[in-house]
Structure 1
């Protein structure tokens, strides 16, 4: 798959997830928030909650859920989230790490608290 096509598919999946989050009352704080050590696809918030969302486009329905976000990637996402919080948020808020799976037919499976900082 060509890189431009892969990026387009990724952006489309992120758009679908961002639209869903907005319908659920979230504000989108950032998209593709990046530091040198990683990137978070969507950062969404409600008054007392921030969701750091990793979006995965899945065309094969037979994937292993345990392999979604390897621990090494989780550590990078956590580090980027901490950088975001240090820069933009001084108040105490609940944070969670979610994963959104987008299928070719545009169905979204949304997993809240897909992993934790521990």
Structure 2
């Protein structure tokens, strides 16, 4: 596995651990529909939380959360709609981003709730 893929997977593991520590129920990881992939689908109370995980090393100029494109958002919404229909869910949906930035020896994590809206 390429080094960046390994770090991305580690980032998702850290995000899952973080969410579980806050009593989120993890429903799916790496849910795929057509060309879309949702990193984490979780449930918190009566809310379906769609989580995009962005992990990278420090030293970039652009904030990590700003790297989620309009195209990626459209794909996330499409896959979420598919998941809701497939599972016959009647829930409110929230789209979050968890950013993980690696420095030499530590990880800095930020959880951005309601990172974007789907309408």
TM-score after normalising by structure 2: 0.88
Q: Which residue of 1 aligns with 2:29?
A: 31
Distance 1:66 1:47, change over 3 A: closer
Q: Give the secondary structure class of the aligned counterpart of 1:77.
A: helix
Q: Does 1:109 align with 2:110?
A: yes
Q: Which consecutive unaligned segments of at least 5 residues does structure 2 have?
A: none
Which runs of at least 4 in structure 1 moved beyond 4 Å after TM superposition?
none
| CA-CA distance at 1:93 after TM superposition | 1.4
Higher deviation after alignment, 54-63 or 67-76:
54-63
Counterpart Cα distance in 2 of 1:37 and 1:89: 22
| Matching residue of 2:84 | 85
Matches of 1:97 and 1:14, distance apart in 2: 16
In 1, Cα distance between equivalents of 2:50 and 2:27:
10
TM-score between both structures, scaled by the size of structure 1: 0.89
Paired with 2:92 and 2:63, the residues of 1 have a C-alpha distance of 28
CA contact (8 A) 2:54 2:64 kept: no
Distance in 1 of aligned mates of 2:62 and 2:37 = 23
Q: Per-residue deviation at 1:106?
A: 1.7
Residue by residue over 1:56-106, the C-alpha shift from the partner in whole angstroms, topping out at 9 and shown as x without a partner, is 01223532467321111100010001111111143x211111001001122
Q: Which runs of 5+ in 1 are unaligned?
A: none
How many equivalent residue pairs? 115
CA RMSD of aligned residues (A): 1.6
1:49 alignment partner in structure 2: 47
